[in-house]
């Protein structure tokens, strides 16, 4: 793995959809860098601090949300002199995103007053009244021809279907929810997934003409859905709940075919490999080192501090069953309890599903969908901040915990890689859509990592050195 030097960042960072550029916010300035050399290709100055960045799907435009102003600015990579500024005035802007054709910007005003479609081709704009929420209640079909928007009217939720060509209303129908929390098109664009608020466990599947294909309620009188994820193939729907379970449904009968339990103890029989993060002291050879005075003093005192930087490394250790997993009991007198499935994602081949139960924030579960059992469980010292599958090729997973280490897993095994950058603790990571490259973020800097070869096939060694 090759790693670039660290560059300053003070806001959002993201790869362009074509994988050739990376946009980096530093307060009110937007840097467009080349992915391979990280040379600055363009530099734009916004009127306020950048809160949000989104690339247009064709990678020719980039949008900056200045939510403190509130305002949206857009820039063209092919025409550097072109710029666009959107200001809703007293209505404000709570959310903004690109349309699939990369020539329209959709903004949602504060207090959910209206959703506005702004055209970059002419001065026309279209308004949709009373939209709900922001990001989770607006979804486009995979082919980019239609949009589904939830609106709230007369204390009831409705779905509006819009044509992305003319932005005309193609249809509308009510949905059976108390307070709709989100919606999403199925990967094959044949149905729309809807789920209710966390106070009501209800998952609904609607056809575009308004027919209810599924009403799923496994239990009542308890907290409901926390996360949902379609598999990339579109055949499976995973529903993560506050009861610390994941329920998997198939797209043919909409029946539950698997329940994935996140138990605090893993006992035999279990085919999963349990990896635990441990510290391994480095073996220091006196003849190969030029000792500093401080280290020599420690040797004379008869003590060595393995917690010193460079005196130990992190590795995964395979542990035997039974295993007791670290568990945090939720605080009942505080809002937003730390429980339930807070992180869930499918591998690109739909063969594996990763989950994190927020009551066990240091543990990552990897489920084998063919065998309907855990393939691996990764136990870490710190809570998991982010985890992402490689969007191309075979199943390869990377994750971070806010430490200077990058953790990886594939069916061949698990690896820990120490990032040799000073004061660089990985707080977030993102894959390039082209695969093979990672954007690693610390609190104030970022770096790009490139994988020059695939992970080893051998399962005997589950650690890596810094120069992998």
DSSP-derived secondary structure letter, 273 = E
Indicate the Cα dihedral angle 421, 424, 430, 433, nearest 10°. Answer: -20
Return the number of other C-beta atoms located less than 10 Å from residue 421's C-beta. Answer: 17
Q: Are 149 and 133 in contact (CB under 8 A)?
A: no
Q: How confident is the model at residue 22, as a pLDDT?
A: 96
Cα(first)–Cα(last) distance of the chain, in Å?
A: 5
The b-or-e profile of 247-281 (16+ CB within 10 A means b, else e) is: bbbebeeeeeebebebeeebeeeeebbbbbbbeee
Q: Are 271 and 411 in contact (CB under 8 A)?
A: no
Indicate the Cα dihedral angle 438, 278, 328, 221, nearest 10°. Answer: 50
Q: And the tokens for 225?
A: 């859905």
Q: How confident is the model at residue 462, as a pLDDT?
A: 41
Q: Parse the chain into domains and list their residue ranges.
A: 130-217, 220-284+308-468
* Residues in a beta bridge with 440: 429, 447
The rounded distance, in Å, linking the Cα atoms of 124 and 4 is 44
Tell me whether domains 130-217 and 220-284+308-468 share a fold. no
Q: How confident is the model at residue 200, as a pLDDT?
A: 93
* Residues in a beta bridge with 30: 25, 44
DSSP-derived secondary structure letter, 315 = E
The rounded distance, in Å, linking the Cα atoms of 105 and 96 is 7
Query: How high does pLDDT run on average in the chain?
Result: 88
Question: In Å, what is the CA distance from 336 to each residue of 63, 153, 333, 342, 438?
Answer: 31, 27, 10, 11, 31
Total number of residues shown for the chain? 468
Identify the CA nearest to 397 among candidates 381, 383, 377: 377
Identify the CA nearest to 365 among candidates 347, 351, 379, 386: 379
Q: What SS3 state is found at 296?
A: helix
The rounded distance, in Å, linking the Cα atoms of 181 and 118 is 25
Whether the CA torsion 217, 218, 220, 225 is positive or negative: it is negative
Return the number of other C-beta atoms located less than 10 Å from residue 390's C-beta. Answer: 22
Asked if the model's pLDDT at residue 303 lies above 90, the reply is no
DSSP-derived secondary structure letter, 295 = H
Q: What is the pTM of this model?
A: 0.88
Q: How confident is the model at residue 124, as a pLDDT?
A: 83
Domain 220-284+308-468, second-level architecture: 6 Propeller (2.120)
* Residue range 445-464, pLDDT digits in tens: 999 999 875 544 433 334 43
Q: What SS3 state is found at 110?
A: helix
Tell me the pLDDT band of 227, cut-offs 50, 70 and 90: very high
Q: Which residue is associated with the tokens 């009217």?
A: 153
Q: Are 439 and 13 in contact (CB under 8 A)?
A: yes
Choice among 94-103, 307-316, 427-436 with the minimum mean pLDDT: 307-316
Asked if the model's pLDDT at residue 305 lies above 60, the reply is no
Tell me the pLDDT band of 90, cut-offs 50, 70 and 90: confident
Cα R_g (the chain), whole angstroms? 24
Q: How confident is the model at residue 285, as a pLDDT?
A: 53
Q: Which residue is associated with the tokens 């021809």?
A: 145
Tell me the pLDDT band of 189, cut-offs 50, 70 and 90: very high
Q: Are 304 and 311 in contact (CB under 8 A)?
A: yes
Identify the CA nearest to 415 among candidates 350, 461, 369: 461
Q: Are 439 and 446 in contact (CB under 8 A)?
A: yes
Whether the CA torsion 25, 382, 5, 61 is positive or negative: it is negative
Q: How many CA atoms lie within 13 A of 124 on its CB side?
A: 8
Cis, bond preceding 269 (omega within 30 deg of 0): yes
Asked if the model's pLDDT at residue 340 lies above 70, the reply is yes
Q: Domain 130-217: which topology?
A: Thrombin, subunit H (2.40.10)
Tell me the pLDDT band of 92, cut-offs 50, 70 and 90: confident
Asked if the model's pLDDT at residue 298 lies above 50, the reply is no
Give the residue, 332 or 121, on which the prediction is more confident. Answer: 121
The rounded distance, in Å, linking the Cα atoms of 45 and 422 is 29
- Average the pLDDT over 103-128 and give the result: 91
DSSP letters for 386-406: EEEE-SSSS--EEEE-SSSEE
Q: How confident is the model at residue 283, as a pLDDT?
A: 65
* Residue range 369-391, pLDDT digits in tens: 999 999 999 999 999 999 999 99
Cis, bond preceding 338 (omega within 30 deg of 0): no
């Amino acid at each position: 793995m090759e790693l670039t030097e660290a560059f300053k960042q003070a806001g959002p960072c993201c790869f362009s959809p074509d994988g050739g550029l990376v946009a980096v916010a530093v307060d009110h300035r937007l840097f467009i860098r080349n992915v391979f050399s990280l040379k600055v290709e363009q530099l734009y100055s916004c009127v306020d601090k950048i809160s949000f960045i989104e690339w247009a799907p064709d990678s020719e435009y980039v949008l900056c949300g200045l939510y403190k102003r509130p305002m949206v600015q857009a820039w063209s990579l092919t025409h550097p002199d072109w710029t666009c500024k959107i200001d809703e005035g007293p209505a404000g802007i709570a959310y903004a995103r690109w349309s699939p054709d990369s020539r329209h910007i959709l903004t949602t005003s504060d207090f959910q007053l209206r959703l506005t479609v702004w055209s970059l081709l002419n001065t026309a704009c279209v308004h949709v009244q009373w939209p709900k929420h922001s990001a989770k209640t607006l979804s486009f079909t995979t082919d980019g021809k239609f949009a589904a928007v939830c609106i709230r009217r007369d204390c009831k939720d409705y779905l509006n279907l819009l044509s992305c060509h003319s932005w005309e209303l193609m249809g509308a129908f009510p949905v059976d929810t108390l307070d709709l929390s989100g919606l999403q098109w199925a990967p094959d664009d044949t149905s729309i997934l809807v789920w209710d608020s966390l106070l009501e466990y209800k998952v609904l599947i609607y056809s575009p003409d308004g027919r209810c294909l599924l009403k799923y309620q496994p239990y009542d009188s308890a907290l409901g859905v926390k996360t949902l994820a379609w598999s990339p193939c579109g055949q499976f729907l995973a529903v993560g709940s506050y009861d610390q379970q994941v329920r998997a449904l198939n797209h043919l009968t909409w029946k539950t075919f698997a329940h994935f339990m996140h138990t605090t103890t893993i006992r035999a029989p279990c085919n999963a490999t349990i990896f635990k993060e441990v510290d391994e002291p480095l073996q220091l050879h006196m003849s190969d080192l030029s000792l500093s005075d401080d280290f020599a003093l420690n040797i004379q005192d008869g003590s060595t501090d393995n917690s010193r930087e460079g005196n130990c490394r992190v590795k995964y250790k395979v542990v035997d069953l039974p295993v007791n997993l670290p568990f945090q009991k939720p605080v009942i007198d505080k809002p937003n309890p730390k429980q339930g499935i807070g992180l869930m994602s499918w591998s690109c081949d739909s063969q594996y599903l990763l989950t994190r139960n927020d009551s066990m924030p240091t543990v990552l579960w990897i489920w084998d969908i063919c065998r309907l059992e855990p393939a691996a469980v990764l136990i870490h010292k710190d809570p998991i901040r982010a985890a992402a599958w490689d969007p191309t090729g075979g199943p390869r997973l990377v994750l971070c915990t806010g430490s200077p280490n990058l953790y990886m897993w594939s069916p061949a095994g698990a690896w820990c890689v120490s990032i040799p950058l000073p004061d660089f603790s990985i707080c977030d990571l993102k894959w390039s859509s082209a695969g093979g490259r990672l954007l690693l973020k610390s609190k104030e800097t970022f770096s790009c990592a490139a994988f020059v070869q695939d992970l080893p096939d051998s399962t005997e060694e589950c650690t890596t050195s810094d120069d992998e």
